[in-house]
Structure 1
């Protein structure tokens, strides 16, 4: 079939079918037999009729239905009040102090929110009944800050700061170095501390001296690598990090450190925490 004949068939076929549809109304459908290079192809056609226009009806084949997106509290990784939009009839409620108040009707929960000026926060919407907690605005704000800091700590590489000291460092310089370590740890950095052998020879091991210096830091400290001797005994090194929440709880449960001597008592020159005594023998202290 030539190109001109094929074009004529395509132009006149819809008109003939639509003319039949006008007398009966509704929808007309059919097929056109096409021939191209000796091959016969049957193409389905479908038309819809209306008093004003004739439109081609799409069959909808090949269309992928859209999936409903469901967002849960656990997937969002954040916390916030749902206001007064409680879709469930019954829900398990946790008080602002963390006490389990059991299963309550949403009307009772709304009344409790109004009486105590509290907000309702979803904890686990997947349970049956779902778990919600009553919280104050301040509690929600603090929890949002905590989650933000936790997420920020997980993302991005950890910066490692380096600090080098000599074994015969003075008290003033040591305090300055310890304050710098504390500043870096407050910023969630790791700190690599290296203690090198000074001009004055010391009999105490460098790793022990470094451990005693770290104990003088005024904030809780965690270890990536504990003090150890390196460079054939010429230096000691450790890597400090901010402690985890579990480590802080264990430190708080430990025995309180006894108070240091007041000014009315003479200073204990044998105290190993004194930086001037680190690495010295008992004979050299007298």
Structure 2
């Protein structure tokens, strides 16, 4: 009863007993420590960068995947990964297709037939197709360059496809080598990079028209 009356007088006079003041400060300290521990246990979430997706066509099947996974699949199945649509309007994704060597060649023929032949190429008598790999050595590449020179000497257009498996640097190195070997004997045109392949064609040089006397 005495303790109760003493506490009531303290609160009435605006004074808090030392024991209760210590008790209240201890609770405050524990609450702050608890918040600090919780903040350490829950680190801020790292922002993840979304990986862009592509539409992949394979064996008449359409799937959505990443470009990296599509490259791995083409390598496992020994197929060519070719971009056929830069950006689809509906899906807002590029479209790629896995093709065999035959399908790839047929697609090239269709595109070639769809394009109008240039007037200054009317003297070309035919075409040759040459497939190269980026792992080719310099000696074999020189042999192929001599073969190209023989073909364009016969007024033939040579369509070259360099299949890449690692980096584009090797493709550019092979292209520069061929360009140096051909020199003024031919013209390298329509250089394009599709998927992992570098494509271009070589045609004979323009024939200068002699003025009639």
Tell which has more relative contact order, 1 or 2 (C-alpha 8 A, sep 6+): 2
Q: Give the number of the structure whose alpha-carbon radius of gyration is greater.
A: 1
Q: TM-score, normalised by structure 2?
A: 0.36
Task: Looking at secondary structure, tell me which structure has more helix per residue.
Answer: 2
